[in-house]
Structure 1
Amino acid sequence: MKIVDGVQLHLIKNTILKTNHLTFRFSGVFSEKTVARRVLVAQMLATANADYPTIKAFREKLASLYGASLSTKVSTKGLVHIVDIDIIFIKDKYAFTAENLLEEVITFLESILFAPLVSVAQYQSKIFDTEKLNLIHYLETDKEDSFYSSELALRKLFYRNPTLQLSKYGDAELVTAENSFTAYQEFQKMLSEDQLDLFIAGEFDDYRMLQVVNKMPFEPRQVNLTYYYRQDYQNVTRELLDKRPVNQSILQLGFHHELRPQDDDYFALVVLNGLLGSFAHSLLFTEIREKEGLAYTIASHFDSFTGLFTIYAGLDKEQRNRLARLINKQLADVRSGKFSMALVGQTKEMLKTNHRLLTDNVKFLIEQAYNAMYLEGIPSTEEWLNGVDVVTKSQLMRVAASLKLQSLYFLEGNEA
């Protein structure tokens, strides 16, 4: 339901769960200039506001709402940077009194959005500075995570768009450069210019929800967002070797793919990823980790929004070349049809089972509603299950052949 141009209300009925879920989503342009500011805004949104100006008061208000929980989350879809406010709370019928808890939660959300904790056009400095330091510490700690840092290194090798080389959180240097003024101004820009979506999932009166949300002072806006990013394949593999005093070496391979959810071979890519590296029965796991004992962990993953297909492994540094050869062999075998259709059938069943389980997850339902509104060709659950089911051997061979190695990153642990 459109509230004003660029602001949508999504009502998702759910009578099974005992909780209601509310998600307020900001969707804006993912850019190096604003990413750190937006993450700092996410920190502040979950901390305090003018009505509840201390962390203690803010948490006490949540406790008074029958122990409601509030968190914020940052994510990306292509060149879109998303900030979510998530609130989970019990349904009205489970409350001890006849109060309308859902409306109270929406009122609380309104105070978060329209009564921020500010002082002279900037966030209140004491709390902001604490949240900024917490975020910098988090990002510095993440840099010590070998898999996280190697993933970022692969992104820098693979993507030619500088923004996509960044983490969704930015980095410590970008955060350090921001202050309470720049972050607050970014919040005001988000509130007035971002695409806004309010999702309410659970049990409620549709008309009453529309009435309550329509009272919020949202201004219309025109938003142009780019969810799908594609870059041309370049016939040069970019490689980088790093050394660090860690016990486990890491190999990251970045392959170029062209497929989007609306494309004919998209479900073959889904099945191929499962066949190669998503499950305990997948080829990379059974042939390389179990039979050859070459990897502590090995898996594959793909991003349908940006055209990156990744194979990554943790290993001893002496095994790098042998491991790379065996990964290439598994891909070559699929490309030439040397794989079991029984294994494909097992992969399809695992994929379908996992997808069915997701349909009971409220956040998945929210993503479905969001994707269906803004993304072209997003399949329904029934279409997804059927799409996986009908993937053929020739499709798997064709999609495997279309994957082209674009980047290789190796983190060599010098204590391995």
Structure 2
Amino acid sequence: MRNQQNKVPFRLKVLPTQKFKTTTITLKFMAPLDSQTITSRTLLSKMLVRATKRWPTDKDFNRHLSQLYGAHIHSFVSKFKDQHVITLSLEIVNERYLKDDTPLIEKGFQLLKEMIWNPLVSSEQFDAQFLTQEKSLLKKKLESVVDNKSQYAFLQLLKNMFGEQAYSEFASGRLADVDQVTPASLYETYQSMLHNDFSAVYVVGNVDEADIEKQVTEYFDLSKHTLDTTTIESRVETADKLPKEIVETDEVDQAKLNLGFKLPTRFGEPDYFALIVFNMMFGGDPSSVLFNEVREKQSLAYSIHSQVDAKNGYMFVLSGVTAAKYQQAKDTILHEFARFQQGEFSDAQLALAKKVLISQRLEAQDRPKSIIEILNNNVLLDEDLTHEIFAQHVQAVTREDVIQLAQNTYVETIYTLTKREEDDA
């Protein structure tokens, strides 16, 4: 399993399955992460599912969805390695389960074609009224990030680790940029998406693969741009200055203690599986060491977990801790990490982590959205990572693999948001 860096053209993956009575059709548009475009792309993702020239009002659009037996359309944005992704997804009842002969899948493709290639645009400008509404909604969402101290603290950790790189921003964009988006500038963003983005289509349901491929070719004129992914790098210059520690104060009920770790491997590399086993044991599950030691035994944290961005090679420990004891909590987290580096974990912990990982991967097969994300991750690989291959590699991880992984992992940044001293007075 190796990373495929430069040779991925327009992508189509169809997964025929009888598990679901619906068919899910998902389109993804990927462009390099850029702080100047992510806000506009987020607004574009909402405008495309809002109205089209054929269905120019909310009422028209919703009526058409109801005529398609309650079809559901939604969009979201995300980060994928060094790419910004617009995802448009349609879930529609599978026509095999209808009593009539309505060609629902074909009508679904027609709907998506209308949304993407015939949006509500006039004189190369998006509808101003709808854009004003979507800008207001996005502002509220981004403002809520500042009010949510856990999200704010994570954002600050990213900013301190990655500086001005777009990776340090949330995928939804920046509050300061919302007002800069106009109906005309949004049209430019839209044209760039159509002509410059890497495109992918995923279809999951009880479908005929050859028929789906024919319809995708017929309805979608997607660009053939290749996906050229690099790796996000933090701005830390020399390891002898690590970890970098930042403490900020605010009006908070509990301290937010976040740690950023640099991993020695990434998704697609052989020791990726040691990475996810280590993360699961360390803080990725309620059975993990951090949850049990920091939260349950020592009562230092209200919440604590670790999560990985395996595509870029980073792990983050995010916690809400007692303000007066954040130093003790930090020392405990670092101590438990050092114990892993020394091999101080049991075979039972190792076996449980593997069991949980394989179980979670299996459960993902029961959700079309999760299946599609797994299929999309495979764009970075030479060969698809099936559940069977995944399980085999996870089971093959040894104690020595985990120890070596931990020993080559280091803490880059520790960020704490805690109470002001006068708040305790």
TM > 0.5 fold call: yes
- How far did 1:217 drift? 5.9
The Cα offsets for residues 210-264 of structure 1, whole Å up to 9 and x where unpaired, read as 3332223626443343153345763223322221212121000111112113323
The number of residues matched between the two structures is: 412
Matched, 1:68 2:71: yes
Task: Tell me the SS of whatever aligns to 1:99.
Answer: coil
Matched, 1:248 2:254: yes
State how far apart, in whole Å, the 2-side matches of 1:8 and 1:217 are.
Answer: 12
1:116 pairs with 119, 123, 129, which one?
119
The Cα offsets for residues 115-162 of structure 1, whole Å up to 9 and x where unpaired, read as 110121110101111111111111111221111111110111112561
Letter of the 1:321 counterpart: Q
Task: Tell me the SS of whatever aligns to 2:400.
Answer: helix
| Residues 194-209 of structure 1 mapped to structure 2, 5 A cutoff | 194-209=197-212
* Conserved? CA contact 1:261–1:377, under 8 Å: no
Letter of the 2:216 counterpart: V
In structure 2, the gaps of 5 or more residues are 1-7
199-208 vs 98-107, which moves further: 199-208
* Conserved? CA contact 1:147–1:250, under 8 Å: yes
* Conserved? CA contact 2:274–2:405, under 8 Å: yes
Letter of the 2:203 counterpart: I
In structure 1, the gaps of 5 or more residues are none
- How far did 1:79 drift? 0.9
Task: Tell me the SS of whatever aligns to 1:184.
Answer: helix
When normalised by structure 1's length, the TM-score is: 0.94
| Residues 253-332 of structure 1 mapped to structure 2, 5 A cutoff | 253-332=259-338
Task: Tell me the SS of whatever aligns to 1:412.
Answer: strand
Task: Tell me the SS of whatever aligns to 1:204.
Answer: coil
Letter of the 2:115 counterpart: I
Indicate the residue corresponding to 1:401 in structure 2.
407
- How far did 1:273 drift? 0.5
Letter of the 2:101 counterpart: A
When normalised by structure 2's length, the TM-score is: 0.92
- How far did 1:354 drift? 1.1
Task: Tell me the SS of whatever aligns to 1:151.
Answer: helix
1:142 pairs with 136, 141, 145, which one?
145
When the two chains are superposed, the root-mean-square deviation of aligned CA atoms in Å is 1.9
Task: Tell me the SS of whatever aligns to 2:320.
Answer: strand
Q: 1:220 to 1:243 in 2, by over 3 A?
A: closer
* Conserved? CA contact 1:262–1:378, under 8 Å: no
Q: 1:88 to 1:220 in 2, by over 3 A?
A: closer
- How far did 1:202 drift? 0.9
* Conserved? CA contact 2:10–2:226, under 8 Å: no
Task: Tell me the SS of whatever aligns to 2:121.
Answer: coil
Q: 1:203 to 1:377 in 2, by over 3 A?
A: closer
Q: Which runs of 4+ in 1 moved over 6 A?
A: none
Matched, 1:344 2:350: yes
Q: 1:241 to 1:218 in 2, by over 3 A?
A: same
| Residues 65-214 of structure 1 mapped to structure 2, 5 A cutoff | 65-160=68-163, 162-214=165-217
Q: 1:206 to 1:354 in 2, by over 3 A?
A: closer
- How far did 1:52 drift? 0.7
Indicate the residue corresponding to 1:370 in structure 2.
376
State how far apart, in whole Å, the 2-side matches of 1:191 and 1:268 are.
Answer: 39
Indicate the residue corresponding to 2:385 in structure 1.
379
State how far apart, in whole Å, the 1-side matches of 2:20 and 2:383 are.
Answer: 29
- How far did 1:22 drift? 0.7
* Conserved? CA contact 1:262–1:377, under 8 Å: no
Task: Tell me the SS of whatever aligns to 1:140.
Answer: helix
* Conserved? CA contact 2:281–2:289, under 8 Å: yes
- How far did 1:338 drift? 1.6
* Conserved? CA contact 1:253–1:311, under 8 Å: yes
286-295 vs 365-374, which moves further: 365-374
Letter of the 1:98 counterpart: D
* Conserved? CA contact 1:233–1:256, under 8 Å: no
State how far apart, in whole Å, the 2-side matches of 1:9 and 1:348 are.
Answer: 31
* Conserved? CA contact 2:11–2:200, under 8 Å: yes
- How far did 1:328 drift? 1.3
Letter of the 2:301 counterpart: A
Task: Tell me the SS of whatever aligns to 2:391.
Answer: helix
Q: 1:206 to 1:355 in 2, by over 3 A?
A: closer
Q: 1:176 to 1:15 in 2, by over 3 A?
A: same
* Conserved? CA contact 1:244–1:411, under 8 Å: yes
Letter of the 1:388 counterpart: V
Letter of the 1:243 counterpart: T
* Conserved? CA contact 1:77–1:228, under 8 Å: no
Letter of the 1:320 counterpart: Y
- How far did 1:376 drift? 4.5
* Conserved? CA contact 1:261–1:304, under 8 Å: yes
* Conserved? CA contact 2:264–2:405, under 8 Å: no
Q: 1:361 to 1:183 in 2, by over 3 A?
A: same
Letter of the 2:238 counterpart: Q
Indicate the residue corresponding to 1:13 in structure 2.
16
The Cα offsets for residues 297-328 of structure 1, whole Å up to 9 and x where unpaired, read as 11111111222211121012110111111111
* Conserved? CA contact 2:258–2:415, under 8 Å: yes
- How far did 1:406 drift? 0.8
